[in-house]
């Protein structure tokens, strides 16, 4: 392995690590709300979970009827 290949490999590893770090940091920042939710947000999330549950249940039922 010559010096050019070595430096390319090291720079590629460093670039990948920095890119992953930046992406992960951005995602963590977007997802963090400090754990504080308003009552309206909690209500909205609960209703969304219930709708997903109903949709999955309907999909299961239609699959069973199709057999």
Dihedral sign of CA atoms 43, 45, 50, 54 in order: positive
Structure tokens at 54: 């109903």
Residues 24 and 45 in one domain: no
pTM above 0.75, yes or no: no
Instruction: Report how many domains make up the chain.
Output: 2
Residues 20 and 44 in one domain: no
Which residues span the domain enclosing 46?
A: 40-66
Residues 4 and 31 in one domain: yes
pLDDT in tens, 16-62: 999 999 999 888 877 776 667 788 888 998 999 999 999 999 999 99
Dihedral sign of CA atoms 33, 35, 38, 40 in order: positive
Residues 52 and 29 in one domain: no
Residues 50 and 21 in one domain: no
């Amino acid at each position: 392995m010559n010096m050019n290949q070595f430096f390319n490999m090291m720079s590629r590893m460093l670039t990948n690590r920095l890119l992953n770090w930046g992406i992960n940091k951005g995602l963590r920042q977007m997802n963090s709300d400090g754990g504080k939710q308003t009552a309206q947000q909690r209500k909205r999330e609960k209703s969304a979970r219930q709708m997903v549950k109903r949709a999955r249940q309907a999909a299961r039922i239609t699959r069973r009827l199709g057999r």
